[in-house]
Chains A and B, each alone.
Chain A
Amino acid sequence: QKEVEQDPGPLSVPEGAIVSLNCTYSNSAFQYFMWYRQYSRKGPELLMYTYSSGNKEDGRFTAQVDKSSKYISLFIRDSQPSDSATYLCAMSDFTDNQGGKLIFGQGTELSVKP
């Protein structure tokens, strides 16, 4: 079993839809959670980070963490064609002497159709 599971998609939605992207994880020691967006042939770009459980909102993006269920989500409201990219979740447990190592999910490929 992988430490982090993420549905690779592809996920196709119409413009304006609400998109829900999810990851599950097995390591209960993970406390720090991130979402990256990666356009084709580019490096990942950090979208949001959260610590422990709860919600965080930034414009059209909302990140949720449910540590009891080992489940994290990224919601995109009013999705735009420019949101078409691969979305990667990432997480870490610095206290485990991982030395800054992030564990990434597989990535979900999102396509927003005009």
Chain B
Amino acid sequence: DTEVTQTPKHLVMGMTNKKSLKCEQHMGHRAMYWYKQKAKKPPELMFVYSYEKLSINESVPSRFSPECPNSSLLNLHLHALQPEDSALYLCASSQDIRVGANYGYTFGSGTRLTVV
């Protein structure tokens, strides 16, 4: 299995809702990442997990809350989002953070989030 699987593929949520995005990989990778991508823009790093520990938080607002329950699973909990948070949320993984930095990541297909 060489894939990063993200669910759901599409999500529409109101500004008062709580929802979660899920990301799963079974490649034995120990680094996992959340990126946010707006239309016609490059991906922007949000969080990095290394061996299930939060390694980087790129000053992301607290309405985004990441969680790494085990080495295969990464969640992004969403609460009280704003319409400007509408974007494609991408999960990625790599063997570890050094391999990721040197040789790149495997990305999932993303969750397209719309906040209304």
A contacts, CB < 8 Å to B: 8, 32, 34, 36, 41-46, 49, 51, 88, 90, 92-94, 98-102, 104-107, 109
Where the two chains meet, the residues of B that have a C-beta atom closer than 8 Å to any C-beta of A are 4, 6, 31, 33, 40-43, 45, 48, 50, 55-56, 88, 90, 92, 94, 96-98, 100-110, 112
> In the complex, A94→B110 CA distance in Å?
25
A44 to chain B, nearest CB (A): 5
> In whole angstroms, what is the CA distance A42 to B45 when docked?
17
Q: A108 to B102, alpha carbons, bound, how many Å?
A: 22
**Is the beta-carbon distance between A90 and B112 smaller than 8 angstroms?**
no
Contact of A100 among B6, B40, B94, B108 (CB under 8 A): B94
Measured CA separation A36–B77 after assembly (Å): 27
**CB–CB A46/B97 < 8 A:** no
A10 nearest CB across to chain B (Å): 10
Residue of B nearest to A51 (CB): B102
Apart from the given pairs A44-B107, A102-B100, 15 other A-B contacts in the complex at a CB distance below 8 Å: A34-B103, A34-B104, A36-B107, A88-B42, A92-B101, A92-B102, A94-B102, A99-B48, A99-B55, A100-B31, A100-B48, A100-B55, A101-B101, A104-B43, A107-B42
